[in-house]
Amino acid sequence: MGTVTPLDPHVAISPAILYFGTPVSLLSTVDEDGHPNLAPNSSVWWLGQTAVIGVGARSQTGRNLIATGEVVINLPSAAEVDIVDRLALTTGRSPVSPRKAAAGYRHVADKFAEAGVRPAASETVTPPRIAELPVHLEGRVTALHPLGGAPSVADASILAVEVGITRVHVRESLRLAGHANRIDPRRWRPLLLSFQRFFGLGDEAHPSRLSTIDEEWYRG
Ligand SMILES: Cc1cc2nc3c(=O)[nH]c(=O)nc-3n(C[C@H](O)[C@H](O)[C@H](O)COP(=O)(O)O)c2cc1C
């Protein structure tokens, strides 16, 4: 038998958060009066044409998703991180909850002005897109799921929101050459959040056997 390299031992810990690294988005929603809101989010994943977003039910975004059921998931690349950071510690809700105020949150009514970005009209939903960001996913809420054992959406403090994607806009420069409907993952540089800090992607880690499947196969 060859030499066995000793492994670094594991320790059991109890982290307050389990944010091991996920893409950052800015969620665009509107309230029942049509007033737009933006909020940074890092809890989104996709399967097929469905996105699932994790949001605080009592945030302005959570309330808007429940009330009007429409969203634009705007994705920044790592190059647009400053736009996201300008919206950190802000909420569209007034008054700010005591818990959030104690953490340093403040009310901001015009998040577009606060972030220094321009609204662009969406094509299938009411919430506006963010012109400065490279990817926009328009969508409609198809289901709301209370998380953390709450018996109903009304009782929940956090929600998983299922969103059917109705339109995808990407900057032309992100398209894979020769393919109308594909994004080049070597050009798309998502912004990631890991334990409250921002990161970009490193280099491609390894050839991918999965990528031998034609992307169109997933459309079925
Ligand atoms: C980078 C970043 C990622 C965040 N991710 C989430 C998230 O995944 N889910 C969530 O509910 N709040 C998340 N937040 C906190 C919300 O943005 C925050 O609660 C905000 O006040 C919501 O704004 P609103 O009340 O106007 O909707 C994140 C904040 C930042 C800055």
What pLDDT shows up at residue 3?
A: 85
User: Within 10 A of 183 (CB to CB), how many other CB atoms are there?
Assistant: 17
| Cβ of 25 less than 6 Å from ligand 1 | no
| Tally of domains within the chain | 1
Q: Residues 6 or more apart from 184 whose CB is under 8 A from it?
A: 174, 175, 176, 177
| Cβ of 61 less than 6 Å from ligand 1 | yes
| Structural domain that includes position 119 | 22-175+182-201+209-219
Helix, strand, or coil (residue 75): strand
Q: Is 148 within a domain?
A: yes
pLDDT tens digits along 70-94? 999 999 999 999 999 999 999 999 9
CB 159 within 8 A of CB 202: no
pLDDT tens digits along 93-114? 999 999 999 999 999 999 999 9
Q: Is 9 within a domain?
A: no
Q: Is 11 within a domain?
A: no
Q: Is 1 within a domain?
A: no
Q: Is 152 within a domain?
A: yes
Which of 91, 144, 159 most suits a substitution to test ligand 1, by most atoms within 8 Å of the C-beta?
91
Residue 101: left if φ>0, alpha if ψ -120 to 50, beta else—which one? alpha
DSSP state of 179: -
Q: Is 17 within a domain?
A: no
